[in-house]
Amino acid sequence: MIILSKKTIRFFNKSGKLDNTICFLESIQKKVNYINLQCIVEGSDIEVTLSGPQDLQLLAIERLKALADKWLE
């Protein structure tokens, strides 16, 4: 049984560089697949909304965390 839900995660760009935010978003496009996602950027805040099956959301969150460690620290 596939359970569909919606989840929102917020990231903060500690480096403060716009280039890093852009790289973060581009890498999300490449690495996070098989799920619908919406990104909103306001200054250093990045809001990512995931919608789809829960198991795929968990996989996406894992990958998002790894990417955030790489680009937003």
Partner 1 sequence: MAKKKSEESIDEIDELMDEDIQSVYPEIEEEKEKLEEEEIGEFPEAEEELGEDLDFVIEEEEEVPQYKYLDIEIHHAEGKNNFEVIIKNQSHGFLNILLNHLLNLESVELAAYKKTNIELPRIFIKLKEGYNIKEILREAIDSLRNEVVDVQKLFKNLI
2 binds partner 1 (CB under 8 A): yes
Determine the Cα–Cα distance for residues 68 and 37; give it in Å rounded to an integer.
16
Closer residue to partner 1 in complex, CB, 44/49: 49
Question: Judged by CB under 8 A, which of 6, 14, 17, 31 binds partner 1?
Answer: 31
Closer residue to partner 1 in complex, CB, 8/36: 36
C-alpha separations of 27 from 3, 4, 5, 42 in Å: 27, 24, 23, 18
Minimum distance between the CB of residue 4 and partner 1, rounded to whole angstroms? 12
CA quadruple 68, 45, 30, 6: dihedral sign: positive
Contact residues: partner 1, CB under 8 A: 2, 31, 33-35, 53, 55-56, 59
